[in-house]
Amino acid sequence: MNLITLEIAVVILALAVLLGDLWTPVAHKRSLGYAAAGGLIIIFSYSFFAAPAFGSGFNDMLVVDGLSLFFKRFFLVAAIIVIFIALEFADRIETGISEFYSLILFALTGMMFAASANDFVLVFVSLELVSVTFYVLNSFQRNRLASLEAGIKYLILSALSAAFLVFGIAFIFGTSGTTNFSAIHGLLETGPDFGKNSAFLLGILFVIVGLGFKIATFPFQIWAPDVYQGSPAPATAFLAIGSKAAGIVLLLRVLFIAVPQVALHWNTLLIVLAAITILYGNLCAIPQRNLKRLLGYSSIANAGYLLLGFAALNQTGFAAILYYLCGYLFAVLAAFMVISIVTCGRDSEDVTVLAGLNQRSPLLATVLTLAMISLAGIPPLAGFFGKFLLLKAVVEQGATNSAYYWLVGITLIGVVISLYYYFGIIRAIYWSKEPADLSPVIVSWPARAVLIVCAAGMLYLGLLPDRAVQQTQLAVQVLKVNSPAVQIQKEARHP
């Protein structure tokens, strides 16, 4: 396998879908989605059968290692499920459904390149590939005002964050003379003074602003609720998992491959960001009635949980981030699948559309309940174990800084708050006062299969975590970090 075989395959698939559109009669255009999903499944299985080519290329701009391979597979799984969601949603997209599929594939390409980025140039280009495709995906229902609004809000704020990112990169390049992660890391090792240069630190801070926007951490989260609410459900689903995970992998790479020496001193910043993001997301989600908006706030809260792993600054934390993302993938995509099936033929996306869902379709009700339980972090599902691993990593660091114990406390408060609104959804399914319409919901077999896969994924990650934990630990081995405790010991030995 070549360094970028998977990416090339996805681009070819996307172009093939666009071309195939020309020869497909209008009535069958929708089924191009099956071709796209099938192609992705083949590419995904190929990534296991072919021997991976570890190494770097393109002037050390792109690196393939355990971490990038893990995230490439992660993005592929996300895109496959998102395409199935898009298939369920296809009736509500008036024109250009095949473009919708191929845009999902182009966004996927951007995410996969982001997973391999080893240079700030590639960080910028891959992030922009993701952003620009999402401008179109978010506003794809262009006869719906909400969708257009979502697209424009995302456009302005994403371009703003890109400007910060680029300005930050300019300062990093100016002070270090290079944009390559490994080169910057080498320079920081040899020249200790250069890491304290305030222009360089400002550059890193601006890059974190740019990436924090993608992840939707406080204070760059303003866009999330509106964009989540207005966008078509498949685009929202991909935004919630794909775009967020791309931001996470880039943040991991920038902080712990390019500048681990700087990240070490920024644990306070990361702790504060994580704590505020968790509280903000969970508190604002309480009064929400719109399902997608609620999931938007829940996604902010989840960004906060993911930041716990960054704040912990140890390998356990990084592995926990990856594990948590996997659990989040199945839970959130299952939720969006159910939402796009249930809201079919209705204008409202209010919580009340779920009324009597257990009688209308037991499968949908069960899967949505599982997804909410997993998001809330109740055993035995994936969400619980992910949160447990993240908190374990934070507690491990508690000895170095008592702020970590505060962080654990705030996280637990956040989890308790989140129980309220997640259970609000479950209550709407089973104990609604006046179920207006009890006609059974027809769930097509591909959707059925995807829902069962999501449910199985949540149960598997929650009940048998050993193998997955091992995989995540292998993946994060490339990330360098010296925990503060080790650092202090070293300094004590060599005064």
The site for other proteins (CB under 8 A) is made up of: 120-121, 124-125, 128, 131-132, 135-136, 139, 142-143, 145-146, 148-153, 155-156, 159-160, 162-164, 166-167, 169-171, 173-174, 177-179, 225-226, 229-230, 287-288, 293
Beta carbon of residue 164, minimum distance to other proteins (angstroms, whole number): 8
| Closer by beta carbon to other proteins, 238 or else 384 | 238
Beta carbon of residue 180, minimum distance to other proteins (angstroms, whole number): 9
Q: What are the beta bridge partners of residue 62? A: 57, 117
**56: phi then psi, degrees, rounded to nearest 5:** -130, 160
How far are the Cα atoms of 11, 105, 131 from residue 102, in angstroms, in the given order? 9, 5, 15
Question: Would you state the structure tokens that stand for residue 460, as one six-digit string?
Answer: 């598997």
| Closer by beta carbon to other proteins, 174 or else 191 | 174
**63: phi then psi, degrees, rounded to nearest 5:** -130, 135
| Closer by beta carbon to other proteins, 224 or else 454 | 224
| Closer by beta carbon to other proteins, 244 or else 293 | 293
Spatial separation of the C-alpha atoms in residues 426 and 212, rounded to whole Å: 31
Beta carbon of residue 179, minimum distance to other proteins (angstroms, whole number): 6
Question: Would you state the structure tokens that stand for residue 157, as one six-digit string?
Answer: 């704020």
How far are the Cα atoms of 113, 203, 220, 404, 448 from residue 210, in angstroms, in the given order? 17, 11, 9, 26, 38
| Closer by beta carbon to other proteins, 280 or else 385 | 280
How far are the Cα atoms of 341, 352, 419, 439 from residue 294, in angstroms, in the given order? 17, 13, 13, 26
| Closer by beta carbon to other proteins, 144 or else 480 | 144
Beta carbon of residue 403, minimum distance to other proteins (angstroms, whole number): 31
DSSP labels, 100-142: HHHHHHHHHHHHHHHHHB-BHHHHHHHHHHHHHHHHHHHT-ST
The two counts, helices (H) then strands (E), for the chain are 22, 2
Beta carbon of residue 207, minimum distance to other proteins (angstroms, whole number): 12
Spatial separation of the C-alpha atoms in residues 130 and 110, rounded to whole Å: 5
| Closer by beta carbon to other proteins, 121 or else 408 | 121
Beta carbon of residue 333, minimum distance to other proteins (angstroms, whole number): 23
| Closer by beta carbon to other proteins, 87 or else 123 | 123
The upper half-sphere exposure of residue 329, i.e. CA atoms within 13 Å in the direction of its Cβ, equals: 26
Beta carbon of residue 121, minimum distance to other proteins (angstroms, whole number): 5
Query: Do 349 and 431 form a contact (C-beta atoms < 8 A)?
Result: no
Beta carbon of residue 318, minimum distance to other proteins (angstroms, whole number): 28
